[in-house]
Amino acid sequence: MGKAIVITSGKGGVGKTTTTANIGTGLAILGNKVVVVDTDIGLRNLDVVMGLENRIVYDIVDVVEKTCRLRQGLIRDKRYDGLFLLPAAQTKDKTSINPEQMLELINDLKAEFDYIIIDSPAGIEQGFQNSIAGADEAYIVTTPEISAVRDADRVIGLLEAKGLNNPKLIINRIRHDMVKRGDMMNVEDIIDILAVDLIGVIPDDEAIVISTNKGEPVVVEDEPLSAKAFKNICKRIVGEEVELLNLEDNEGKFSKLIKLLFSK
């Protein structure tokens, strides 16, 4: 029996879809059978972030309405055999599915996959309610901004009201340089305010923009700091203990060399 994890945030644009694509791909790299599910009906995007937009025939509404079989709705990833995408419908709206149907769908998927990673839409309306319906665990994505942290707090409350206790936090787009000069809330500040457990911190990284442009989740690469951060989250999900990344690596070798010279 697999585990279903919903990636949610309340606020839009904080990186839910990117996080879903990278965690899903990262877990597949570790050898798991994974399906990423896009529940953002009407505004689907997980397909383009995964680079699978040209392969879509059926979607989640077709599967739920039994227009096609579950297997027909799943799109196999182009790089990893154990990785599949269940795309959202683009021409329908959030009310085309209800939470009961979602629960049934996720349970069917849990019988076949090790991990089901569910990409939630922004907001707290029916699309959100659908996305959390079958989830065993919830990960909240936030950025170090007031608006995102506030919405994260609200979503944590809503999740707990639905029995999804102890959601875990992913802090996205941390900028070490700004944190250092006191112009951005740091990890401790945010944890302190939200009072939830942390599962990972993702640095603000150009590599993510570049990889999204190409339709390849950054986690498939070795070098970028954000790729390492996503790999670490995946290792934590499968039960490994991994320390938080030292984001100072961001500084680059040159400035480190200078520091070394002057520290003598």
Partner 1 sequence: MDLFKFFGKSNKSSKNVAKERLKLVLVHDRSDLSPKFLEMVEGDIIRVIKEYAEIDEKGLDIKLTRMKRETDNMPMSALVANIPIIKIKDNKKY
Give the interface with partner 1 as residue ranges (CB under 8 A). 145-146, 149-150, 153-154, 157, 179, 181-186, 189, 193
Nearer to partner 1, 179 or 220 (CB): 179
**Closer to partner 1 by Cβ: residue 111 or 195:** 195
**Least distance from partner 1 to the Cβ atom of residue 172, Å:** 16
Residue 263 C-beta: closest distance to partner 1, Å: 22
Q: Which residues contact 6 (CB under 8 A, 6 or more apart)?
A: 118, 120, 131, 132, 135, 137, 138, 139, 164
Closest approach, Cβ 155 to partner 1, in A, equals 11
Shortest distance (Å) from residue 121 CB to partner 1: 21
State the minimum distance, in angstroms, from the CB of residue 143 to partner 1: 12
In terms of residues, how long is the chain?
Answer: 264
Provide the greatest CA pair distance for the chain: 71
Nearer to partner 1, 156 or 237 (CB): 156
Nearer to partner 1 among residue 10 and residue 121 (C-beta): 10
| Of residues 158, 162, 99, 156, the one with CA closest to residue 131 | 99
Rounded to a whole number of angstroms, the minimum distance from the CB of residue 163 to partner 1 is: 18
Region for residue 252 given its phi and psi (left: phi exceeds 0; alpha: psi -120 to 50; beta: otherwise): left
Count Cβ atoms below 10 Å from residue 37 Cβ, excluding itself: 30
Residue 135 or 148 having the CB closest to partner 1: 148
Backbone angles phi, psi at 171, to 5 degrees: -100, 120
Contact 117, 125 (CB under 8 A): no
Residue whose CB is less far from partner 1, 104 or 125: 125
